[in-house]
A and B are shown apart, each in its own frame.
Chain A
Amino acid sequence: MRSLILRMFLATASGAWLLLCAGPAGAQPAQATGCETCHRNEASESLSAPARDFALADVHRDRGFTCVNCHGGDPNATDKAAAKAPATGFRGKPSGQAVIAVCSNCHSDAALMRKYAPRQRVDQAAEYATSVHGQQLAKGDTKVATCVSCHGAHGVRLVSDAQSPVYPLNVATTCTKCHGDAEHMKGYTLNGGPLPTDQGEKYAKSVHHAAMVERSDLSAPTCNDCHGNHGAAPPGVDAIANVCGTCHTVFATKFALSTHAAIFERGCVECHNNHDILEPTDAMVGTDEKALCSTCHSEGDNGHKAAMAMRAGIEKLKAAISHSEEQVAAVENAGIEMGDEALTVREAANHLTVARTELHAFDPAAVQAVLDEGLGLTTKVDEAAAAAQSELSFRRTGLAISLAAILLVVVALQLKIRTLKPHA
């Protein structure tokens, strides 16, 4: 008898397991199941909403998956108790580690994923285990985010779908749902103090946010670009330059060569902040009150001298470019073609950009070399503009002489006409 019960249990359990793992036969949208039929009519919002959301737009439903694939149960049973009988493998609403297990059941299965999204990675669960979220969950903290916290449970959309909570434009909002909630984050610490909850507000002021939201540049970084997504964690102090250098390659390379690389504990963040990264200005360099250099350097030290020299050089080239632009515009307005010179001014402006980049190595000689090349270009433009002004003077003198000659002829003609007999 025991053997029979054991065999029946194994048969049922293996059947349920196969149902959970096998996935749908084809990639056609799944039809409404018995689960949905009942749940839609549930009075409780928490019980009806999943059925409704799953029916609207869901990437899993579109590929033929049904409630059973995550929740188990028997969708064909007409009786609620039979549908959720233990023998059906019914698992109810997964939470905590169970969510990771249910999702990774398919998403960590390379063979299965190849059928639906061959390019998609299958290491999300492994990455998650290394994240702060994953580590906290392993310790039994169920407040932390799991897969469904970010992706949703029912009505899951592709990451590339603009309505997905993990679409680049929506990531910051999704993260700050928890990280901007002081009550939710109570008890979590960073460097011995409470974990800040103002990252979202700070990020909203940053150049990255402006690029992402105002200019719709989806390549601009949002939370997960620096912290990782499934393996989300604050970048280590020694990794900050690498994180920023992922995009700002040249700056990172220059900074790595600088004396500051070994001194700045927080790398780039020392000058540019982390979440509230504002538009960098030339005023950040120098020795006046607004300059960041003066925070550490004082008059007489080498850093102070270097900062003063680099700032002075940059201001000089800026003034030279501005002067050249005015000269070119004045001559162009007078009708002399200065297209080549306008291009040269832009080239000088490129040198200014390169000098600002070079500045991250904090080597005044290297910065000055670039600035000198830019100044050479503006000098050439100014010479061409001066020559054009001479040409303009020549043209105006020529016109004055021509007009005088024409006027003379008109007067002479008028005088001649007066000498003629008035009428025939």
Chain B
Amino acid sequence: MTQQLIAWLDERLDLTAIRHFVEEKSVPVHRHSVWYYMGGITLFLVGVQVATGILLLLYYRPSAGEAYESVKFIVSQVEFGWLIRNLHSWSANLLIFMAFVHLFSTLFLRSYRRPRELTWVTGVLLLFIMMGFGFSGYLLPWNELAFFATKVGTGIAGAVPFVGDFLVRFLRGGDEVTGATLTRFYGLHVAILPAMTTVVLGMHLLFIQRQGMSVPPSVEAREKAGAKTPQIPFFPHYVLHDVMWWYVALAVLAALALFLPWELGTKADAFAPVPAGIRPEWYFLAMFQVLKLLPAHILGIEGEVLGVLGFGLAALVLLFLPFLDRGAAEGRSSKLVTIGGILALAYMVVFTIYGYLAA
């Protein structure tokens, strides 16, 4: 039956190229191969987000008067609504966690080196987009914690020199976080960011398929010396491994969704006093904590402005890292990149934990 269907399609669409791709594509096997699957797990979680997000859209109502109640309705009245919402929330967090794992593994293995610079750039852009998803999605249940965290988060944009005030008003849809902000974030979350993801993710996957998997510099050096790196066929070997990892991720997600349900909290009230322990999602916490610790003025410049500029510069360095680390293409692993990566990782872990303890 399957063969008949393929033959039917082949007759009409000429599947030679696809058949050739499936038969010929292979993936190198070495002691760092396990990191290849991190990107696959991240992609799987994007799929979970899309599926659960579409289901949530069926009941969610994006207005200040109805958002909280509609999420409450989803988790209490809709059949399996609790599961979908918990999966969406947990998957979002796991997705960003896996994206960071994928990023750091790629960084330490120097997979961004020529000719894969654009794969890295699109990957970093995807990470920023995912963080944008997280920031906008956090507000959508319109609960107290998210409301005030968004107020603080959007307020930080005001520290950007020259365009800060415009950015704050642009993000909030006014001077304050109101129902207009919610509607704006909703549009960003379900239309603009998904459209951007489709394009950038498509490019990212296309580049990977066109260029194949990168091997670490040490493996490449051995290849140059004449050693042959073992390969496994992409299909079915690698795909089956990938699917197995997806199932593991699904099991973890399901367990988290049931045993650590995502809190709904209390409905946002603009006139309520700011509750204690206001903090952003964990992936912004390290940055938030640094901004909190910065003194009011450093060398005559506002501390927060300097902090925002510093993070902006760090984002640019991350984005254009392949073009800064030119030696990687020649097999020279820069110690600066390795130390920078370790410090960045340590900073994120330490300040995130510190942020939780301080809150």
Query: Taking beta carbons and an 8 Å cutoff, which residues of A are in contact with B?
Result: 334-337, 339, 395-396, 399, 402-403, 406-407, 409-410, 413-414, 416-417, 420, 422-424
Contact = CB atoms under 8 A, between A and B. Distances in A.
A376 B143 CA distance: 32
A335 B237 contact: no
B308 to A, nearest CB: 37
Q: For the side of the interface on B, what is the size category?
A: 20 to 34
Contact of B264 (A337, A395, A396): A337
Contacts of B240: 413, 416-417, 420
Interface in B242-281: 243-244, 247-248, 250-251, 254-255, 258, 261-262, 264
B105 interface: no
Nearest to A338: B76
B254 A399 contact: yes
A406 B251 contact: yes
A335 B82 contact: yes
Contact of A424 (B26, B247, B255, B264): B26
Contact of B231 (A395, A396, A417, A424): A424
Nearest to B241: A417
A403 B254 contact: yes
Given A336-B82, A403-B251, A417 B261 contact: no
Contact of A409 (B86, B232, B237, B247): B247
A189 to B, nearest CB: 52
Contacts of B248: 406, 410
Interface of B: 26, 29, 72, 75-76, 82-83, 86, 230-233, 236-237, 240-241, 243-244, 247-248, 250-251, 254-255, 258, 261-262, 264
A360 B255 CA distance: 54
Nearest to A422: B232
A107 B99 CA distance: 79
B258 A395 contact: yes
Nearest to A333: B261
Contact of B236 (A407, A414, A420): A420
Determine chain A's interface SS by DSSP, over half rule: helix
B251 A423 contact: no
A330 to B, nearest CB: 13
Contacts of B29: 423
Given A335-B258, A416-B240, A407 B26 contact: no
A423 B230 contact: yes
**Centre residue among B72, B86, B258 by max chain A CB count within 10 A:** B258
A395 B29 CA distance: 40
B75 A337 contact: yes
Contacts of A420: 236-237, 240
Contacts of A403: 251, 254-255
Contacts of B237: 417, 420, 424
B96 to A, nearest CB: 22
Contact of B233 (A337, A399, A414, A424): A424
Contact of A335 (B86, B244, B254, B255): B86
A423 B255 contact: no
A20 B330 CA distance: 104
B231 A423 contact: yes
Given A335-B262, A410-B247, A420-B236, 8 more contacts: A336-B82, A337-B76, A396-B258, A406-B254, A423-B29, A423-B230, A424-B233, A424-B237
B278 to A, nearest CB: 22
Contacts of A337: 72, 75-76, 82, 264
Contacts of A410: 244, 247-248, 251
